[in-house]
Amino acid sequence: MKTVAVVGTQWGDEGKGKIVDLLAADADIVVRFQGGNNAAHTLVVGGEKFILRLVPAGALHEGKVCVIGNGTVVDPIALIEELDKLRSHGCLTNDGTFKLASDAHMVMPYHRAIDRARETRLGGRAIGTTGFGIGPAYEDKMARCGLRFADLADFKSFSEKLERNLADKNLYLKAVLKAKPVGAAGLIEQMKTVRRRLMPYICDTAAYLDDAIANGRRVLFEGAHGTMLDIDHGTYPFVTSSSCLASAVFAGAGLAPGSLEAVLGITKAYTTRVGGGPFPTEIKGKLGDRLRTEGGEFGSATGRPRRIGWFDAVLTRQAARLNGVWGLAVTKLDILTGIDPLKICVAYEIKGKRCERMPPGDLVTHKIKPIYEELPGWREDTSDARAFGDLPANARRYLKRLSELSDVEIAMVGVGAAREATIVLNNPFLN
């Protein structure tokens, strides 16, 4: 297969970055097609920890081309900082290995200010956003007043648009949100630096990718967040502001429908989510705290503790259907070692009726009782396993059951944070 997308099947934080980093070894180009720097991918390579928020995880492989597509919203200052940090580690030192879509929209300081002020104003009703300005940036995109990287070509015109936006946003910040305005002079000077630093990378990435695919190059599409945070199909309103599904590749990277050959769905061996919203299988108390600590379940971008739950097969089936998932990569299996029994949510009970699918509408309006199936756990260490047969019998049984309930074959199993701590059963690029 030549074109592969990696997407999350839960509420994000499934370990997509590690799997993208692994698959990037067999790809030529890695593309980010949606979201912003509110999502982060944590990678451990050679014992060193890397956190990537905007640049695709392929950056850690020499010679791979990293592309940020038009479907993303990009904080240009954060991007420059990330590029500088990567280069200090010897990554992306060749300018030709990084490309930025000319029609990607920018996240500006006033977007961040609005995002944070809104959450403060909502108080106990807050959605739980990261405060990085992603939602307000997508709002401006849809309102047709957003600033795109292509606008930097004519800096006089760009400055005029920026000043108009600032006047409107500052009025809203002061009069409605009761927050401090954003200064114009300092921001325009900052954007001069942005223009100087980023203009060499700005191009028509959709045309670049079209040519690359036509010439048989292997392209890996890296999703952010997870299916249950999708703006249309997630647990609305506790969602992100973009589409997280594999279908977003077509609009967010400029591909024609039908040009994606495989979708690899990433899922943890249990479930987590950050922020507010429904969570049917949530585990509270000592066991939840243990899994959070041992799994390092704290947001890479924010440091916020993640909520912990049992594996939810209802969610995974929904994600598999929506994304057309070809195979599953199950991560963090090692974190379940020593827990006995293990629970899997196989269905929901709503108003006394068994539901095999997620109910339509807002999950918050439904009183959901998860229906669990119990499986025996294992105590043997799994961290050195590199083949399916190396795993304890009960771990293999657990994985097979996840596959049966999700109706998707397992392609990979993660047994640790490092790149090499992965059992590869089926690599889509070698299929």
Residue 317's alpha-carbon distances to 6, 274, 278, 352, 388, in angstroms, are 16, 21, 17, 21, 23
* Residue 277: band (very low, low, confident or very high) from pLDDT cuts 50, 70, 90: confident
| More confident of the two residues 193 and 45 | 193
* Residue 132: band (very low, low, confident or very high) from pLDDT cuts 50, 70, 90: very high
CA–CA dist 278, 368 (Å, integer): 9
- CB 329 within 8 Å of CB 266: yes
Backbone phi and psi for residue 177, each to the nearest 5 degrees, phi listed first: -90, -10
* Residue 129: band (very low, low, confident or very high) from pLDDT cuts 50, 70, 90: confident
| More confident of the two residues 45 and 22 | 22
pLDDT at 394 over 70: yes
pLDDT of residue 281: 96
The structural domains of the chain, ordered by start, are 3-95+204-430 (3.40.440.10), 105-200 (1.10.300.10)
The residue assigned the tokens 């920018």 is 106
pLDDT of residue 362: 60
* Residue 133: band (very low, low, confident or very high) from pLDDT cuts 50, 70, 90: very high
pLDDT of residue 8: 97
Q: Give ∠ CA 386-392-397 in degrees, rounded to 5.
A: 105
pLDDT at 126 over 90: no
| More confident of the two residues 393 and 42 | 393
Backbone phi and psi for residue 374, each to the nearest 5 degrees, phi listed first: -105, 140
The string of pLDDT tens digits covering residues 290-314 is: 999 999 998 766 788 999 999 999 9
pLDDT of residue 149: 98
pLDDT of residue 120: 85
> What DSSP assignment string belongs to 245-313?
STTHHHHHHTPPTT---EEEEEEESSEEE-SSS--TTB--SHHHHHHHHHTT-B-TTT-PBPEEE-EEH
Q: Would strands 410-414 and 422-424 be described as parallel, antiparallel, or unpaired?
A: antiparallel
Active site residues: 13, 41
The string of pLDDT tens digits covering residues 327-385 is: 999 999 999 999 999 999 999 999 899 999 988 766 655 688 999 999 999 999 999 99
pLDDT of residue 301: 66
Contacts of residue 71, defined as CB under 8 A and 6 or more positions apart, other chains included, come to 33, 34, 104, 242, 248, 251, 252, 253
Average pLDDT over residues 262-278: 94
| Top mean-pLDDT range of 46-55, 182-191, 336-345 | 336-345
The β-bridge partners of 305 are: 298
Q: Rounded mean pLDDT of the chain?
A: 94
The β-bridge partners of 220 are: 4, 30
pLDDT at 388 over 60: yes
- Residues 111-149: b if buried by 16+ CB within 10 A, e if exposed: bbbbbbbbbeeeeeeeeebbbbbbbbbbebbeeeebbbb
